[in-house]
Amino acid sequence: MAAVLGLPMIAEAALDEALRTLDGRGMPATGEIPLIEIGHGPEGPMVAVAVTAKTAGRLAVLLGRNPSLRRRIRLVDPEALAAAFARIRSQKGRCPARANLRRVAIRDVDDMLAGLVAASGDRLARRAATRGQVMLLALLSAAVLAGVALAPRVVFDLANIAMCIGFLAQAALRETARRLLAKGGFQPPMRPRDECAPGALPPEKLPVYTVLVPLRDEAAVVSRLLLHISALRYPRDRLDIKLLVEDDDIATLHALARRKLGPPFEIVMVPRCGPLTKPKALGVGLVHARGELVTVFDAEDRPDRNQLLDAAAAFAAGGPRLGCVQARLSIDHGGDAWITGLFAIEYAMLFDGVLPLLAHADLPFLLGGTSNHFRLSVLRRLGGWDAWNVTEDADLAVRIAHAGYRSTVIASTTYEEAPLTLRAWLRQRGRWQKGWLQTWMVHMRTPVGLWRALGARGFLALQIQFFGGLFANAVLPLWLVLAGLTLMGRPVAGPDGSFRGDIGFTLAIAALLLGYATAVSLAVAVLKARPIGVSPRLLFSWPIYTLLLSLSMLRATWEWLRRPHHWAKTAHGLARRPVRPPRL
């Protein structure tokens, strides 16, 4: 296998040395390829990869896309790795207790989940759907099937109307964002790196800040993570950094133990019980949070150094009704692959265009999965994150708005890692769409109550966002098939020679093209405002990307029906990212 991949094997002695601080309970795994960190080189963490016949092909693809990874990877036979774990286990007991290591009991997790249920009631994703929702979906499905059989043209007309309304609403949102961005109507996406936000608080008035970092199978990126978290500009005596690691994640615990962390870092060992999700770990961290303000970073994040200062200033200026501050997210290696480049453009459109517009208009918006900042009092009033929702950020955004708080966006950026392969992208996007579907189903259990809490503007703003992330992707392939058959002279439904049919069909095509045009125009505007190293020529393939979104929506729907709480983990540490974030 080593000869085929062109990678060296790690020596047994070096492997044993790398495992010295492990307790040897099993083989670690990062994402889909088992690996452990064995040191640190000039280009990043050095890792030993236990390659099997099943994962060799996947590793070969990654090496083909990122040849520089060869300098950071050594191979190890899976049996040799298991034997090394056994040797280390026989030589020593479990890791000794440390001052900055907190072990959480299962009963504490049970208490946390009980508090969440008490605070949120039925607005949780523990159930995929209520009995009433199941009956309504069954009736709607039966009505659609009957309509297709008895009156297909009527069904087609109704689908046209729904699609036109949705795409036109999205087009209006994008075009408004583009125009407001061009006029400087909201904060620019970036500032010079060392410049704080206006109104920054003096050090003596800064509140204690809790930073929650959930980690699962992240041994390969621990070094870079700690480097960027440690670089945050904030008084150390007012920082409370909690690294949340499941207690069976040997590799990540080993990587952290090698760093000999002291205050303000604390390693929180989360019991492997209840829902095995990121929000469950965040809930455990929230119980022990000391800060007045709380933020969440993911393992691969590289936040601007002043982000905590900027967020604290925003909270101080925003008043008690400001419950959440979202930093902007950006991909810093968009040139690695076609899928990565389009992902980076999509992120730029969302975080530099659409979300600032919604915040500027004081409308609710769905949060990103990281770099969102909260008041601790608001989080505890809401019970924290929904431990059963696989996009806990989106759900919390709706609950924050439902409780009467508002959210805003600041001109501070966190640089993230995007999936490098189509397969990894489909896994990640399928989980996101499944979580958005969970969130929509949960909060539409009481649509009248949601309307009253958010008002007409807020309710419609959320529906437009859910339409773009979910329903447009679900309807588009079917509509394209029907449209294609019609254009080939074999209509199943649609234009029937009547004025009504021709007008409806033409309007639907116009709405679709307008949606594409406004997406491209917004993308060009945000790429001009913030260059991210991605060519605008990629936008010619945007229709293909939207069809892939439809494919991931099929996967999301299937998983929502079969395993709604399964967390499809995304592997990190595989991209060729710059040593430092792009200079702003």
Question: Beta strand 406-416 with 302-303: parallel, antiparallel or unpaired?
Answer: antiparallel
The H-assigned helical ranges of 390-446 are 392-402, 422-443
Residue 565 domain-assigned (yes or no): no
Range in 147-161, 208-222, 558-572 the model is least confident about: 147-161
How much is the pLDDT for 489?
67
**478, 134 in Cβ contact below 8 A?**
no
Question: Looking at the structure, do residues 239 and 369 belong to the same domain, yes or no?
Answer: yes
CATH of the domain at 369: 3.90.550.10
Range of the structural domain that residue 45 is part of = 2-85
Q: How far is CA 393 from the centre of its chain?
A: 8
How much is the pLDDT for 478?
74
How much is the pLDDT for 247?
86
Residue 166 domain-assigned (yes or no): no
How much is the pLDDT for 97?
44
- Rounded Cα distance, 15 and 77, in Å: 11
HSE, CB side, 13 Å, CA atoms: give it for residue 398: 31
Residue 345 domain-assigned (yes or no): yes
Residue 315 pLDDT > 50, yes or no?
Answer: yes
Question: Looking at the structure, do residues 392 and 254 belong to the same domain, yes or no?
Answer: yes
Residue 542 pLDDT > 90, yes or no?
Answer: yes
- Rounded Cα distance, 42 and 4, in Å: 25
Six-digit token string for 303? 């936040």
Residue 464 domain-assigned (yes or no): no
How much is the pLDDT for 71?
74
Residue 47 domain-assigned (yes or no): yes
Domain-terminating residue out of 400, 416, 432: 416
Would the CA dihedral through 36, 40, 45, 47 be positive or negative?
negative
**300, 573 in Cβ contact below 8 A?**
yes
- Rounded Cα distance, 9 and 15, in Å: 10
pLDDT winner (highest mean) among 53-67, 153-167, 445-459 = 445-459
HSE, CB side, 13 Å, CA atoms: give it for residue 255: 31
- Rounded Cα distance, 280 and 387, in Å: 4
- Rounded Cα distance, 148 and 494, in Å: 12
Looking at residue 568, the DSSP 8-state letter turns out to be -
Residue 328 pLDDT > 90, yes or no?
Answer: yes
Question: Looking at the structure, do residues 212 and 79 belong to the same domain, yes or no?
Answer: no
Interval 60-107: pLDDT, tens: 877 777 777 777 777 777 777 777 666 655 544 444 445 588 888 888
Range in 39-53, 136-150, 362-376, 531-545 the model is least confident about: 39-53
**59, 35 in Cβ contact below 8 A?**
no
How much is the pLDDT for 69?
72
**219, 251 in Cβ contact below 8 A?**
yes
Residue 397 pLDDT > 60, yes or no?
Answer: yes
Model confidence at 15, pLDDT cuts 50, 70, 90, reads low
Residue 252 pLDDT > 80, yes or no?
Answer: yes
- The rounded mean pLDDT for the chain is 84
Looking at residue 573, the DSSP 8-state letter turns out to be S
User: What residues contact 447, with CB distance under 8 A and at least 6 apart?
Assistant: none
- Rounded Cα distance, 201 and 314, in Å: 10
- Rounded Cα distance, 50 and 75, in Å: 6
How much is the pLDDT for 471?
81
Average pLDDT over residues 545-574: 90
Residue 214's alpha-carbon distances to 22, 267, 298, 369, 566, in angstroms, are 20, 10, 6, 11, 17
HSE, CB side, 13 Å, CA atoms: give it for residue 275: 28
Residue 473 domain-assigned (yes or no): no
**526, 334 in Cβ contact below 8 A?**
no
Question: Looking at the structure, do residues 382 and 236 belong to the same domain, yes or no?
Answer: yes
Domain-terminating residue out of 397, 416, 435: 416
Specify the amino acid at residue 506.
T
Average pLDDT over residues 197-222: 87
Residue 173 domain-assigned (yes or no): no
> Domains in the chain: how many in total?
2
Model confidence at 185, pLDDT cuts 50, 70, 90, reads low
Determine if the peptide bond prior to 264 is cis (ω within 30°). Answer: yes
Residue 57 domain-assigned (yes or no): yes
Range in 65-69, 147-151, 426-430 the model is least confident about: 65-69
Domain-terminating residue out of 389, 416, 443: 416
